[in-house]
Structure 1
């Protein structure tokens, strides 16, 4: 029976390189996927591209390619990645440059484009955005990016045409995994169980080390061994659509019923209706079975149909945040922090700062849960407290007033303040609209070295 092994080399833009190297060297895999885009990531990448047209791809692209390219080529491992981000063309150029420097030949690289519709948004100005409930045309902000969550079809086509590396911009995370499965087994959207299982495979693996114990461990409650050498996941799927999840033997972490169950529920709302570009999948009958240590069999996901729309991620410049922090030590640290907070709030009124939203946090006391927990469980005295104040403003200048008042505490605040930090940052907000699939045309371009 035919089987295909696929590993996840990265689950975010900034992820460790060592697990990916471990996968190509000892994972006995056919594919390695680098899934590196989040909602705001591509908007940030678009900003980088606007400043420098040669940038806009995932910053760790070069390190990852230099780390795995030679071994992947030697072992016949194909690479699938959305590290093209806002500039797939520049990403491909860099990969080709690295391949030539490393004297790697007979390498075919495919680029999938068509997701960037930033310059086409006028036709969608009457569509309501999910989060704000305003139409796109009512958005009073500078739009930075608009990218469609493409499906797996173009990845499948690129692989059908012999691509060794497929570079995309924004595609749905799971599509990076579904595409190779469609290519290998000839599955289509009509193969409801197989596509459902492929989608589940992608969902479980897309966050890399999360399913092997990262973002899972909780000492004393959910202990996980050797997190410092956490291994990334591998899935082995056969022509029935059933698959196992495992990892490289000897790597850190674990693959178990508990890690798989927790990852199944990660970032989904209705488990009976998990919507992706290629399938609407029902996870409610999924079964995990521990076959042996670090090997879990996964069955039961099924597609309920195909959506006829695409989600579009819209990134826009929303506001500025002025913020600052200052630390206090000793048993009187909380009262001194509170005096500082009072000084800053009164000073901001004096200087006339226009602030839309303002927040004070005492880190170590109530910064996560405010008074819901701290009033009931926190001690009366604290050995150390870090004060954080922040404000959301429409202008950079108003945000700077907040940051400056923190700096003034060096000589104008109470005794014992230390470690003052202040900053102003522009906030990129994210909205989403839905558009017809028929509006989008994807293109595939090929290069060879």
Structure 2
């Protein structure tokens, strides 16, 4: 039996999450690996902007906090760590880990850096077919920020076979982070589609961290979970024959049951018969799941088909600007004052001739499900809320226009037409993403292995 644990499901996940996972892996005493998944579709673009500001940045900002409590234990117990936490700058991430290893007295820690996913300078996107879901998005005149291919498990397997204790990658597919240690340990062939399907399902079920162990599932009073403040991150038990059981870290909250596994299994699965990854096409239409113990769910009936000839490339472009301003209204006649204040804000943008597209939300009354025109809060006739937060959001091509629009909430703070408080505003760049398809032979990868002692 081989154990695969997950210690992060996105950039900014709980920095203490890997600790109980590693403790459980050690306690179980079986061969094991840990992976951290920290990249979303736009995370690489934001990381690339950080790298522009500082050549030694552009990787997962919480990397040292995530690894510091577990690195020595994983090294001494032979648990390799894999992650796409290199983001836009895997070499800098590797140097950060090397510095941490030396401080922890681990100069012999071997760190593999996987590069090649960054194709911004090597591929002409204009020659590539656009991914069908993004055909309506126009990015022809926008400035490219990042272009990264979703690479598969092969270079990660190579790194593990070379003896890497930590594998640092950029934009991998999420399932590849689980497939790689399984292939390296069991010696599965990279065209054994049934086994790779199990690996892909394992990675897919674990990739979002606590989502499969009760996180997003939690709905107090309807779908309760124990000790949500200490929710446990998941661990998979994978057999050489392709058996798969999902469980979680010991001595933690949350739960793993048929419902949580179903929710995560269907997450982002547009076609259950064809979940495309760089390594295998996963088919879950014959999948069966079975509760085999407390916090233990077995997954059966997975099928796999040959890997696709094309890899997905997600390109990120400089978009427009987002201006946001917020201010609170409370006390008697709150709703009327909030609606009137919202109308004043819109009128002010019009009077000043600011070239922006505005939206106002009354947070606490209608925001998440409302339209840009505020249909829900305009029509609201219910009970008077005790307080509301007015959020003005604007989008525009000119940064100064967006900044000036967002600042209009400040004029309301002291001497505006309605008593308000707690004004905040900011302006941030917007990122436009568009996906393309590229022949996999156009995305060569490189693995570089050095010890922490050797790495500067």
TM-score interval for Structure 1 and Structure 2 normalised by the shorter chain: over 0.9
Structure-1 residue corresponding to 2:328 = 327
Change in 2 beyond 3 A, CA 1:210/1:126? closer
Structure-1 residue corresponding to 2:353 = 352
C-alpha displacement of 1:110: 0.8
Structure-1 residue corresponding to 2:13 = 15
Structure-2 residue corresponding to 1:236 = 237
Structure-2 residue corresponding to 1:252 = 253
C-alpha displacement of 1:378: 6.4
Q: TM-score w.r.t. structure 2 length? A: 0.94
Change in 2 beyond 3 A, CA 1:320/1:125? farther
Q: Deviations over 1:298-332 (max 9, x none)?
A: 11111122100010011111010112111111241
Structure-1 residue corresponding to 2:300 = 299
Contact 1:125 1:135 in 2 (8 A): no
Q: Within 5 A, what are the aligned runs for 1:128-143?
A: 128=130, 130=132, 132-133=134-135, 139-143=140-144
- In the alignment, does 2:414 pair up with 1:416? no
Give the Cα separation in 2 of the matches to 1:146 and 1:21.
33
C-alpha displacement of 1:77: 0.9
Q: Within 5 A, what are the aligned runs for 1:26-425?
A: 26-28=24-26, 30-122=32-124, 124-125=126-127, 127-128=129-130, 130=132, 132-133=134-135, 139-355=140-356, 357-370=357-370, 379-425=382-428
Contact 1:328 1:384 in 2 (8 A): yes
Structure-1 residue corresponding to 2:450 = 447
Give the Cα separation in 1 of the matches to 2:294 and 2:126.
51
Give the Cα separation in 2 of the matches to 1:101 and 1:246.
33
3-state SS in 1 of match to 2:68: helix
Contact 1:141 1:316 in 2 (8 A): yes
Contact 2:137 2:434 in 1 (8 A): no
Give the Cα separation in 2 of the matches to 1:27 and 1:182.
19
Change in 2 beyond 3 A, CA 1:368/1:244? same
Contact 1:126 1:135 in 2 (8 A): no
Q: Deviations over 1:370-413 (max 9, x none)?
A: 27876898624111111111111001011012112111112342
Q: Deviations over 1:338-357 (max 9, x none)?
A: 111111111111111012x3
Give the Cα separation in 2 of the matches to 1:241 and 1:255.
20
3-state SS in 1 of match to 2:177: helix
Decide which moves more: 116-125 or 225-234. Answer: 116-125
Give the Cα separation in 2 of the matches to 1:346 and 1:253.
49
Contact 1:127 1:135 in 2 (8 A): no
Contact 1:27 1:247 in 2 (8 A): no
Contact 1:365 1:378 in 2 (8 A): no
For structure 1, list consecutive stretches of 5 or more residues without a partner in the other structure.
Answer: none
3-state SS in 1 of match to 2:122: helix
3-state SS in 1 of match to 2:213: coil
Give the Cα separation in 1 of the matches to 2:360 and 2:249.
45
Structure-2 residue corresponding to 1:6 = 4
Structure-2 residue corresponding to 1:430 = 433
3-state SS in 1 of match to 2:342: helix
Runs ≥4 residues deviating over 4 A: 129-132, 371-378
Contact 1:197 1:300 in 2 (8 A): no
Give the Cα separation in 2 of the matches to 1:237 and 1:374.
51
3-state SS in 2 of match to 1:120: coil
Change in 2 beyond 3 A, CA 1:446/1:433? same
3-state SS in 1 of match to 2:349: helix
3-state SS in 2 of match to 1:244: strand
Give the Cα separation in 1 of the matches to 2:227 and 2:424.
34
Give the Cα separation in 1 of the matches to 2:156 and 2:166.
10
Give the Cα separation in 2 of the matches to 1:242 and 1:146.
36
Give the Cα separation in 1 of the matches to 2:363 and 2:274.
39
Give the Cα separation in 1 of the matches to 2:325 and 2:210.
32
C-alpha displacement of 1:223: 0.8
Structure-1 residue corresponding to 2:22 = 24
Give the Cα separation in 1 of the matches to 2:137 and 2:384.
50
